[in-house]
Structure 1
Amino acid sequence: MRMALSAAMLILLPVCCLLCAGSWAATLSELGDTILGQDTFTDVANFSTFLLDRSSGMLFLGARDAILAVDTNKMNQPPHKIIWDVPEEKRKSCVAKGKTEVDCNNYIRLLEFLPGRRIYVCGTYAFDPQCAFLELSSFSLEKAEDGGVKMETGKGKCPFEPSQHYTAVMADGLLYTAATSNFLGTLFDISRATGPEQERIRTEQSINWLSDPEFVSSAFIAESAERNPSGDDDKIYFFFTEVAKEYDLYTKVKVPRVARVCKSDLGGMKTLQRRWTTFLKAQLVCEDKPSGQRYNILTDVFTMKHTPGDPSSTHFYGLFTSQWENEELSAVCVFSLSDISKVMDGPFKERKKTCETWINPEPVPTPRPGQCLNSALKAEGFESSLKLPDKVLTFVRDHPLMENSVNAAPLLVRKGIRYTKLAVTLTGNGDERRGTLLHLGTDHGELHRVAVVSQNATLLQEIPLFKPQEPVNNILLHKGRALVGSPLSLARVQAEGCDLYPSCEVCARARGLGCVWSTKEEACRLSTAEPGPGDVVDVALRKCQTEEGRCTPSIRELRVSLGLRLLLPCIQLSPRPCSWEHPPHRHTRQHHSDLEVTVTSESVGKYVCTCQEGGPGIIDPTPCRRAAYQLTLEGPTAGTMAAAGGRHVLAIYILFFCVGFLLGVFLLLFVTRRRSISNHGHHLPDNSLSSEKGRDLLGSSATPQSPSSASLLSEGFRLTEKRNGTATTTTTTTFLSSPGNGGPHSNSYSGALSNSNSSNGHRNSLYGNCNRSSSGLKFTSEILAADMLDGRTGERERVRHDGEERESGEGDEVDEGLGDGIGEGIQGLEEEIARFPMFKSPAPLAKCEESSI
C-alpha cells in the first residue's frame, strides 16, 4: 500500500509543479509581467550592467563576453546579441598570471550613450580593460582597419576584476569614473576618464583622499539656468564606503561618504597638476538616535528629483547595512542635496602633525578651497582652476574631509533580510505628495514593495522573481514598470498604480498612498479623496471582511505537536525594538523581531508581538501590535509517537540481550557437562593452584593489562581514545560499527562479536583483525569470572563476620575449588568454540598486537 502511495505521489508531484508554474505564468500574464531566463538568453550569463534608451524602450545588457539588446515593449521577441570575447592566447596569459579561467573573460561593466547614436562599451578583457564603440543603427561594434574590433585602453574607465566595486556617469559627453587603476586592485581613482588628454584629471594618491574605498554610485547634477542666478558650476557626486582615518580605534572603522567634484575643474598650475582642485568629501550618517543604532556600510544609492526640472529638489536614497551586526540587516536613509551642499560649505577637518586629535583649521584662505567656479569668482579673475593661488590648492590637498556630517534617520530597517538594490516611486503630484513606494531587491531573487507614509513603513508585497541563488543586481523604473535583473534573468513587472494590490487587505495597507478597495469592482483603485484623521491603514483594514487592523491583528491559531520547533514571524520595518508576550514557562529565542519556539506542554498558549513605531506627526514611538498567535497541542503528537518508537527499539535491544545471555548460559552448561563426563572420577585440583588462577582472573578484569596481554579490555576496547587532540570517552558497547571514512563517526569500537570496520581511512585494518581474534572471547570470560568472584568474596566476608573459623576454612576450600572448576570450564568453552573456523584468528596474536601498536 505504501509503495502504491509513493508511486502516486511521484506521478502527482510533477503535475502539481506544472500546474503551479502555469498558475504563476498566468498571474504574470494577467498583470502584463514577463520573466526571461536561460531559455531566452541560452549561453549568455553574468548580466551586470543595464542601459535603457527611454525614448525607444530598448534595454542594453552587459554580460560575459556579450552585449544584448531587449525591446522592453516586446519582450517575447528574441534579444539581439553581440559577441565580444577574449582571444585564446590572451586568456592563457591571464591564467598564467595567477587568475582563474572564469575571471579571464570579458565582463562588460560599462555602457554609456555617446553623441551620434553610439554606445561606449568597456569590459574587463581578461584583466586588461578595453573599450569599444557600438553602432546602434547596425547594432555592431566598430571595426578597425585590420577587421578586428576597434578598441582603446579602458584603464581608469573600467575595473580590472569582474567583482570589483565600480561606478561611472556620463556628463555632457565626458565620462567620470570611480574605479581601480592597477592590476592588483590596490590603487583607486575618481577621474575624468575621457576628453582631451590635458583635461583628464584624477584624485591624489593619498589615504586622506581615498582610503580603501568601495565605490557604490555616482550622479551628475546639472544646474538649471532659471534656478541658478549665481552661475554655479555643475557637479558630480560619488558615493562610496571607505576606511575612516579620523577614528583611532583598534579595528578598521568603515564609514559611508559622499564626494563632490566640479565639472569645469582642470586641476592646478603647479600644485595639484592634473588633480582635482574641487574634491571634497563628507560622512553620511544613517542613524536611529533613540536606539543609537548606526548603519555604516553603503550598498546602493538611488537618485531622484522630487520636483521635475528642479535640481535643488534632488534626494539620494541610500541602502545601508551595518559593519557591527553579525546577521543580515538592511536600512534605508534619504539625504537631500541641500543638506549635502550645506556640509560642503561648512568647516574643514584637519589633523595636526603634533597630536592625534582632529581640530578645525584656522584660517581658511580665500577664495574658499574646493569651491566650484561661479559668476563672482570669474569676475575676480579666476576664470579657471589653473589660476587659483597655491595656498588655496595646498589647503584643499591637505583637507579634503569636512567637519560636519550629513545626517538622516532611517525610513525603514529590516532585520534578517539583505537588500541589494533600491528604486523609488513617489505617489501624488507636487505639493500633494502622499508617500513613497520603495522597490527593494533581495539577495534571494525577490522584489519587495514597502510604502512609507510620514514616519510609518508598511510592507505591501514580497514577490519571488528569480531562483534563490540569483540576487537582484539591477532595478530600472520606466513608464510605470520596473525592469529587474539578476546575473541570469530579466523581469518586467508593474511598478505603479493601485491595481498592484490584488486583495482588500493589501490595498488597505496602501491607503496612505491613496488606494481604496472598491467592493463593486472587487479591485483596488486610486482615490482622490484625502485620508481622514487617525491611522488610515487601521481604519481601512477594518472595512475589509476582517476585524484585523494594522495595530490590532487577529489571533492565528496554530496546532502544534510536542518537540516541534517553529518560527513565529513578526515583520517590523521600524528601527525601534519589538517585544513578545508569551507563557512564563517557555523555550524561546528571539531572531531579530521573529521568535523561535520549542513546543512543550508548558509553552502552549498566546504569543503577542508588540513593536515600537512612530505615527503621523508623532516623534516619540508608540506601541503597535504586529502579530498574535495561539499555540494549541494536537493529538496524538509526533513527539509521543517518536518516544513510543524509541521505547520499542529499546525493548527489542533488551530482548536480544536476554536471549543472548540465556544462550550463553546454556552453552556454558553444555560444555561444562561435557568436560565433567569426559573427566569423571577426577577430584578438584590443588587449592593453591586454583587460588592463583582466581587471582589472575580477578586482576585481569579489574586492571587493564600490558600490551602483551591478550585481553580485549586493554587492547581493543579502550574506554578513552584521543583523536586530533580530543579525548573521546566510550561508555557503552557499539554492536555494529559504522562504515567510517576517517571522520568522527568512525572512532567507535565494536564488541566481542561485532562487525569491525576493516578500512576507515586510518590504515588500521590489522587492528580490526585483532578485534576478531579469539581474545574477543577472553573478554567475555573475564567479565563473567569477575562477577562470580565478587559474589564469592561477599560470601567469604559474611562468614568471617560470623566468627566461625571452621566454616570459613571450608568455605574457602569449596570456593577455591569452585573457582578452579569454573575457570577450567570457561577455558574448555574457549577451546571448544575456537575449533570452529569462523572464530579462528587469521594471524598470530603477537603479530596483531605489534601491528596495533
Structure 2
Amino acid sequence: MSPDGAMWTLLPMLCLLSGATWAATLSGLQDAVLELKKFQDVANVSTFLLDRSTSTLLLGARDAILAVDTERLDQEPKVVGRIIWDVPEAKRRACVAKRKTKVDCNNYVRLLEFLGDGRVYVCGTYAFDPQCAFLELSSFTLETTEGEGVKMETGKGKCPFEPSQHYTAVMAAGTLYTAAASNFLGTLFDISRGTGAEQERIRTERSINWLSDPEFVSSAFIQQSASSNPTGDDDKIYFFFTEVAKEYDLYTKVKVPRVARVCKSDVGGMKTLQRRWTTFLKAQLVCEDKPSGQRYNILTDVFTTEHTPGDPSSTHFYGLFTSQWERDELSAVCVFSLSDISKVMDGPFKELKKTSDWTHPEPVPTPRPGQCLNKALKDEGFDSSLKLPDKVLTFVRDHPLMDNSVTAAPLLVRKGIRYTKLAVTQTGSGDERRGAVLHLGTDRGELHQVAVVGENATFLQELSLFTSQEPVNNILLHRGRALVGSPLSLARVQAEGCALYSSCAVCARARGLGCVWSTGEDACRRTTAEPGPGDIVDNALRKCDVAEGRCNPSMRELRVSVGLPLLLPCVQLSPRSCSWEHPPHRHTRQHHSDLQVTVTEDSLGEYICTCQEAGPGSRDPTPCRRAAYQLTLEGPIAGGTVAEAGGRHIVASYIFMFLMGLVLGAFLLHFVMRRCSVARQGHHLPDNSLSSDKGRDLLGSSATAQSPSSASLLSDGFRLTEKRNGTATTNTTTTLFSNQGNGSPHGNSFGGALIHSNPGNGHGNSLYANCNTNSGDLQFVANLLDGRTGERPEVIERKFGERDEVDEGLGDVIKGPEEELARFPNFKLPAPLALCEESSI
C-alpha cells in the first residue's frame, strides 16, 4: 500500500475514534452542546439573559433574538421563541455608504435586561444607529406601534454602535446603567443612567481625567441591606474597565485597570456638573505578584459573587487579567473585596500639579466630595445632590481619581493560554467554606475548571466544547450547571459537585473542596471530614493507584539527538517563581516556567523544575517539584514502542519508487505520443522537424506551470503541523514537548519517547512519537499524554503532501527526465523519514 493510501485509510478511523471519545465524555457528564446555526442560521450570539424561574435562556444574536429551554438541551432542543429584528434595506445601504462593511451593517443585539414588569429591554447596533425595543415575554414578541412597526427608541449611550465595541450594562431596580461609546466614530465614551425620568438621565463629564480611551468590561449593582447598613448609605453601581493612564509620564500609552463607582440617587449638580455625576470616583486595580514583580494590567472579565449569600458586604469581584507587556498568551485571576474598594474610595484623592507631580490635594472640602447620600448628610440638609455646594462639585470634577490602589495577589497564573470569560462557584457555606472552583473559558472553545483552596490552585479538568475558531464569550451558572456560549454554539456542562470528577486522581486534586474517592462505589463523593495535616492533595493521591503525587513527579526519559532544540514544560499554576536544576552548561534559556534546551553532549542528564507554592496552613512558600526529565542520546529501545529507522526507510523507499514510477511513466507517455505524431506525418517530415513550429507544438513549453503534485509532494508534504482542537496550523520551526500553560498539575508522561533530528525535511528537526512502520502500513501507538489535560494521548501530526493530480495534457508539461529529476529535493538531500499522523483522541 502506498503512503497516501495508508494515510487516507487511517484518517477516517482517527476521526471516528476522536468523535467517539468526545461524545462519551459529554454523555458521561450529562452535558449537551447545541449548534445554534440549526435554527435558521442564527449566528453571532453575544448576549445571554437567563430567566431562572423557567430555565429559559434568551440569546441576542445578529438580526435575531432566540429563547431556548436549557433543561432540554440533551434532548430535541425546544425553542421557546425566535424573533427576527433586522434592518431595512434602505438603512443598510446608507450604512454601507458611510464606509462600513456590509456585515457590520446588520442589527447585532447587544443588550437584554429584565424590566420587572414582564418585559425585556433589548438594544441592538441597528446598522450603526443603536435602537432599543421592548420584548413581551408572555407572547415573545416585540412591541409594535399603530403602524405595525416595531416600537423603538434611541439606543445611543445604551448600546454600542459597532458590533465589536467593548460595552457593559446593568439594571438597578428597573433603571438601566450603561458604559458605552456615545458617538458614531467611537471616540466619545459615557457612563450614564440610560432610562428613567428625563431629568435624571445623567452621564460622565467629557474629560480625559474622567475617562481616557476606556475599554469597558463589566458592571455590578450592589444593593445595601437594612441589616448591614446602619448608616443608611446609598446603593452603588460599580463599573470595571481598562483605560490609558494619565498619571504615568511615559513615551508609550500605559493601560491600567480601573473600578469606578456612582451612587444610585445621584441626579447631578444645580450649576456645576449639571446632568453629570457628582459621585463619580475611580481607583486603580493592581493585580501583581510582588515576589516576581509581574503585574497584569489588562482587565478581560469580572465575575461578581457574594461569599456569604444574602450579605452584600461580602461581595467579591474575581477579575480576569492579561498583560500589555507580554507578547505570549498570558492569563491571571485576582480577587478584590468590596470592603477593600470602599476603603480606597474613602481615602485620599490624587491631583496633578503644574510641576507634573501627582500629589494629595489639600484641603478637601466638606461634605466629602463623591460621597453617597446617607443619614448623616440628610441630617445636615443635603438630601439631594442638587443641594451640594459648588466647591464640593468643582473638587470632584477635577479629582475623580483616588490616590491609593486596590491591590491583590494572583490566585492563578496560566502562561501559553488566553482566557476570555470567568465564572466562580463557591464550595461549602459560611464558616465551612472550603474554596472556590474557577470556570474559565478560552479563546479556543474550551472550558477549564481550576480549584482554588487557600493560596494554592489545582487544575481539575478541561472540556473541549466548541471548535478552536469559537471563543467562549458567555458563562452563566444555574442549578449546578454552567451554560457556556460561543458566537455559534451553546453548551451545558456540570459545574458543581464531587460527582463530576470521574477518576481517583482528579477527585484527589479536589480534596481541598471536600471531595474524597470512594473505592467501594468507585466514584467521587462529598465528605465533611477535615483533611489531615500536610499536603492534602499529595495525601489523597497516594491512596489512588498512581505512581506520583502533585509534588513528586516521576522521571521522564527523553531520547534525543545532538543539535536538537527542546522546550521542557513545567506547568505553573501558582504565580510564584519556578527554577530549574540541570547540568552546568550554557545551552539553556528559561521561557516563563518552561526551559529551552539545545542538546549537546554536555547538556545530557537530569532536568528538574521546582516551583514555589504556599505551604499547608501557611502563607510562606514551600518548594514543590513539578517536572523531572532525563535526557539521553538516541538509541535502540526494547519493546518496539518507538519507530525503528528501518521502518522509516521502508516508507521513504515507497515514496521514492512512487516518484520514479511517475517520472518514468510520464517519459514513456511522452515518447509514445512523439512516435505517434511522427508516424502520422509519414516521411514528409524533415530530419530537423523538432526545430519547426509545427513540431514544437508537440513539446512541453518551458513557460507552462508544472503539475502541483510534483513540487508539493516533496517540498511541502512533510511540514510539521501543530493542531489545536482540530485545526492544524503549519509551523516553520519545531517545538518539542511544549504544553506551556496547558498541562495538568501532574505534568506529562513521556514513556520512552524517541526524538530524532532530520535535517532533510526542510525544517531541521522532527519528532517521531511511537510510530512503527511494518510492511508499508502505519501503526500508531499512543504513549504520549496530552499536554493540556494530562489524561489524553499527545496530539502530534505530520502532514503528507497533497494528492497527486495528473492533467490530461501531461505530455505538455513534463520535461526531460534529467531536468525533471534535478528539480526534486530528494535527489539533493537525504530521503525524508516516515512521519506520524496526528490523533486527536
What is the deviation of 1:186? 0.3
Distance 1:740 1:264 in 2: 76
The within-5 A match list for 1:719-730 is none
Q: Deviations over 1:22-58 (max 9, x none)?
A: 3322331221100112563451111111111111111
What is the deviation of 1:593? 1.9
> Structure 1 regions of 5+ residues with no counterpart?
649-735, 746-837, 839-853
Q: Deviations over 1:419-451 (max 9, x none)?
A: 111111111110011111111111111111111
Structure-1 residue corresponding to 2:570: 570
The within-5 A match list for 1:396-435 is 396-435=396-435
Would you say the 8 A contact 2:533–2:616 is kept in 1? Answer: no
Structure-1 residue corresponding to 2:321: 320
* Counterpart code for 1:383: D
Distance 1:20 1:249 in 2: 51
Query: Greater CA radius of gyration, 1 or 2?
Result: 1
Where 1:73 maps in the other structure, the secondary structure is helix
Q: Deviations over 1:268-321 (max 9, x none)?
A: 011100000000111111111111111111111000000011000000001111
* Counterpart code for 1:86: V
Distance 2:500 2:588 in 1: 37
Structure-1 residue corresponding to 2:337: 336
Structure-2 residue corresponding to 1:452: 452
What is the deviation of 1:8? 5.3
What is the deviation of 1:517? 1.0
Distance 2:373 2:407 in 1: 27
Distance 2:563 2:82 in 1: 56
Where 1:92 maps in the other structure, the secondary structure is helix
Would you say the 8 A contact 1:175–1:192 is kept in 2? Answer: yes
Would you say the 8 A contact 1:299–1:319 is kept in 2? Answer: yes
What is the deviation of 1:740? 11
Distance 1:26 1:610 in 2: 36
Structure-2 residue corresponding to 1:60: 58
Distance 2:517 2:566 in 1: 34
Would you say the 8 A contact 1:232–1:373 is kept in 2? Answer: yes
Structure-1 residue corresponding to 2:657: none
Distance 2:166 2:269 in 1: 29
Structure-1 residue corresponding to 2:555: 555
The within-5 A match list for 1:535-554 is 535-554=535-554
What is the deviation of 1:628? 1.8
Change (3 A) 1:474 1:342: same
Where 2:38 maps in the other structure, the secondary structure is helix
Change (3 A) 1:643 1:600: farther
Tell me whether 632-641 or 288-297 shows the greater mean CA deviation. 632-641
Distance 1:38 1:218 in 2: 27
What is the deviation of 1:738? 12
Structure-2 residue corresponding to 1:763: none
Would you say the 8 A contact 1:456–1:616 is kept in 2? Answer: no
Distance 1:512 1:521 in 2: 20
Distance 2:164 2:37 in 1: 25
Distance 2:706 2:366 in 1: 79
Distance 1:70 1:643 in 2: 53
What is the deviation of 1:620? 3.2
Q: Deviations over 1:354-403 (max 9, x none)?
A: 31111111111111111111111111111111111111111111111111
Distance 2:613 2:267 in 1: 50
Structure-2 residue corresponding to 1:616: 616
Distance 2:540 2:471 in 1: 34
Structure-2 residue corresponding to 1:720: none
How many residues of Structure 1 are paired with residues of Structure 2 in the alignment?
656
Would you say the 8 A contact 1:192–1:201 is kept in 2? Answer: yes
What is the deviation of 1:9? 4.5
Distance 1:591 1:469 in 2: 27
Structure-2 residue corresponding to 1:843: none
Counterpart check, 1:371 vs 2:367: no
Q: Deviations over 1:309-339 (max 9, x none)?
A: 1000000001111111111111111100001
Aligned-pair Cα RMSD in Å: 2.8
What is the deviation of 1:259? 0.4
Structure-2 residue corresponding to 1:40: 38
Change (3 A) 1:580 1:639: farther
Counterpart check, 1:308 vs 2:309: yes
Structure-2 residue corresponding to 1:132: 133
Would you say the 8 A contact 2:72–2:78 is kept in 1? Answer: no
Q: Deviations over 1:89-126 (max 9, x none)?
A: 11111111011111111111100001221111100001
Structure-2 residue corresponding to 1:180: 181
Structure-2 residue corresponding to 1:820: none
Tell me whether 618-627 or 471-480 shows the greater mean CA deviation. 618-627
Where 1:220 maps in the other structure, the secondary structure is strand
What is the deviation of 1:598? 4.9
TM-score if structure 1 supplies the norm length?
A: 0.73
* Counterpart code for 1:191: S
What is the deviation of 1:20? 2.9
* Counterpart code for 1:27: T
* Counterpart code for 2:326: E
Distance 1:2 1:602 in 2: 42
What is the deviation of 1:416? 1.1
Counterpart check, 1:236 vs 2:237: yes
Distance 1:262 1:39 in 2: 42
Where 1:625 maps in the other structure, the secondary structure is strand
Change (3 A) 1:198 1:11: same
The within-5 A match list for 1:525-544 is 525-544=525-544
Counterpart check, 1:383 vs 2:383: yes
What is the deviation of 1:243? 0.8
Change (3 A) 1:73 1:505: same
Distance 2:457 2:358 in 1: 38
Distance 1:221 1:359 in 2: 31
Q: Deviations over 1:178-206 (max 9, x none)?
A: 00000000000000000111110000000
* Counterpart code for 1:102: V
Counterpart check, 1:205 vs 2:206: yes
Distance 1:293 1:278 in 2: 33
What is the deviation of 1:644? 9.6
Where 1:450 maps in the other structure, the secondary structure is strand
Change (3 A) 1:600 1:14: farther
Structure-1 residue corresponding to 2:47: 49
Sequence identity, in percent?
78
* Counterpart code for 2:612: Q
Distance 1:471 1:163 in 2: 14
Change (3 A) 1:429 1:190: same
Structure-2 residue corresponding to 1:670: none
What is the deviation of 1:586? 7.9
Would you say the 8 A contact 1:482–1:495 is kept in 2? Answer: yes
* Counterpart code for 1:496: E
TM-score if structure 2 supplies the norm length?
A: 0.74
Q: Deviations over 1:109-144 (max 9, x none)?
A: 100001221111100001000011111111111112
Structure-1 residue corresponding to 2:472: 472
What is the deviation of 1:465? 1.0
What is the deviation of 1:642? 13
> Structure 2 regions of 5+ residues with no counterpart?
654-701, 712-815, 817-841
* Counterpart code for 2:451: A
Would you say the 8 A contact 1:416–1:592 is kept in 2? Answer: no
* Counterpart code for 1:333: C
Where 1:476 maps in the other structure, the secondary structure is strand
Counterpart check, 1:101 vs 2:99: no
- Higher RCO (C-alpha 8 Å, min separation 6): 2
What is the deviation of 1:563? 6.2
Distance 2:202 2:385 in 1: 12
Tell me whether 580-589 or 514-523 shows the greater mean CA deviation. 580-589
* Counterpart code for 2:508: A
Structure-2 residue corresponding to 1:222: 223
* Counterpart code for 1:511: R
Distance 2:598 2:60 in 1: 48
Distance 1:629 1:42 in 2: 53
What is the deviation of 1:568? 3.1
The within-5 A match list for 1:718-757 is none
Distance 1:528 1:44 in 2: 46
Distance 1:297 1:542 in 2: 40
Where 2:72 maps in the other structure, the secondary structure is coil
Distance 2:647 2:247 in 1: 60
Distance 1:394 1:639 in 2: 80
* Counterpart code for 2:43: A
Change (3 A) 1:37 1:603: farther
* Counterpart code for 1:131: C
Distance 1:71 1:559 in 2: 54
Structure-2 residue corresponding to 1:748: none
Structure-2 residue corresponding to 1:299: 300
